[in-house]
Structure 1
Amino acid sequence: MEIWPAIDLRRGRCVRLQQGDYDRETVFGDDPAAIAKQWVDAGAKRLHLVDLDAARGDDPSQNLAAVRSIIESIDVPCQLGGGVRDEDTIETLLALGLARLVVGSAALKQPAWFAEMCDAHPGKLAAGIDARNGMVATDGWLETSSTPAITLAQDLRARTQNIAAVIYTDIAKDGMLQGPNLEGLIEMANATDIPLVASGGVTTMADVQALVDAEMPAAIIGRALYDGHLDLAAVLELAND
């Protein structure tokens, strides 16, 4: 199972939010590149970056500088999500050297466009499907749609074979250190043949083992690494990443 340590960026700093709430923010560092290097030195083979400002339409300039610094300071693939909603943004971000982009709100609101972009950039775009009570949440998790998460995944697969992955996040679990929604993840994994990246709530080695046992292709881990609940080297060994 692939392990993607998360680096969430807001105003150029590394932070974590609880359940996507911008008012429940913890700052973990002012130098995201140093944190990226820390995870890579611990054995990480890939990183998951999130532009929290772009996700809700705020100025992403400080975060873009941080992303550029991260890419320049390490030599592992990085994927970025948050605010990827148009072709110009896709072109700009891929030109920075990012290996993959995560498209969230636009994949729900413009599925035909998203499929077109996947076909134009095979293997470079993943769908970020964030769910609240099984329904897709959008716009930095500020809005909840009437579309079931599984329905969206199935629709996207029907439109394109070039989608790289689905990053599936249960908002109720994200940043809460309460374990992942394993039942929901398994249901999503069985819904399509798109590689699934589990996100949200991974807190203990038992959680990691449960995901391995469920044959999840990949998992993103955030707050548990920062709070010391999980040791990245041990996680990587267990996941055999």
Structure 2
Amino acid sequence: MEIWPAIDLRHGRCVRLQQGDYERETVFGEDPAAMARRWVVAGARRLHLVDLDAARGDDPTENLAAVRAILQAVDVPCQLGGGVRSEAIIEELLDMGLARLVVGSAALKRPEWFAQMCDAHPRRLAAGIDAREGMVATDGWLETSSTPAVTLAKDLRSRTENIAAIIYTDIAKDGMLEGPNLQGLQEMAAATDIPLVASGGVTTLDDIRALVDVDMPAAIIGRALYEGRLDLPEVLEVAGEQ
């Protein structure tokens, strides 16, 4: 199972939110590039970056500078999500050197456009499907749609073969250190053959083992690494990446 340590960016700093709430922020570092080096030195083979400012329409300038610094600091594939809503942004970010982009709100609101972008950039775009009680949430998790997450996944697969992955986040679990939503993940895995990345709530080595046991292809880990509840080399060993 692939492990993606997360680096969430807000105002150019490395932070974590609880359940996507911008008022429940913890700052874990002023230097995201140093944090990226830390995870790579510990064995990370890839990194998951999130632009929290762009996700809700705020000025992403500081975060884009941080992303450039990360890409210069480490030599592993990095994917970025947050505010990826236009062809111009997609091309700008891919040209920066990012390996993959995560499209969230736009994949739900403009699925035909998202499919066209996937076809234009094969295997470079992933759908970020964030669910609140099984329904897709959008706009930095500020809005909840009436579309079930599994319905969106099936619809996207019907439109394109070139989608790279689905990053599936259960918002109720995100940043809460309560374990992943295995049932929701298994329902999503059963709904489509798109490679799935589990996100939200991974806290213990038993959580890693549980994801491995259900053949989850990949998982993103955030707060548990930052708070020292998980040791990245141990995680990589359990996941079979060491």
Matched, 1:97 2:89: no
Map of 2:223 onto structure 1: 223
**Which 4+ runs in 1 deviate beyond 2 A?**
none
TM-score, normalised to structure 1's length? Answer: 1.00
Q: How does 1:104-119 map to 2 (within 5 A)?
A: 104-119=104-119
- Aligned equivalents of 1:230, 1:92: Cα separation in 2: 34
Matched, 1:171 2:171: yes
Map of 1:15 onto structure 2: 15
- Give the Å deviation of 1:88: 0.3
TM-score, normalised to structure 2's length? Answer: 0.99
Map of 2:200 onto structure 1: 200
Q: How does 1:44-83 map to 2 (within 5 A)?
A: 44-83=44-83
SS state at 1:175 partner: coil
SS state at 1:172 partner: coil
- Give the Å deviation of 1:51: 0.1
RMSD: 0.3
- Aligned equivalents of 1:188, 1:222: Cα separation in 2: 21
Instruction: Give identity over the alignment, percent.
Output: 80
- Give the Å deviation of 1:97: 0.1
- Aligned equivalents of 2:189, 2:81: Cα separation in 1: 20
The C-alpha deviation readout for 1:131-187, integer Å capped at 9, x for no partner, is: 000000000000000000000000000000000000000000000000000010011
- Give the Å deviation of 1:108: 0.1
Q: How does 1:132-151 map to 2 (within 5 A)?
A: 132-151=132-151
- Aligned equivalents of 1:183, 1:151: Cα separation in 2: 16
- Aligned equivalents of 1:240, 1:59: Cα separation in 2: 39
Q: How does 1:205-216 map to 2 (within 5 A)?
A: 205-216=205-216
SS state at 1:144 partner: strand
- Aligned equivalents of 1:148, 1:184: Cα separation in 2: 11
**1:107 maps to amino acid:** A
- Give the Å deviation of 1:226: 0.1
**1:151 maps to amino acid:** T
- Aligned equivalents of 1:93, 1:61: Cα separation in 2: 13
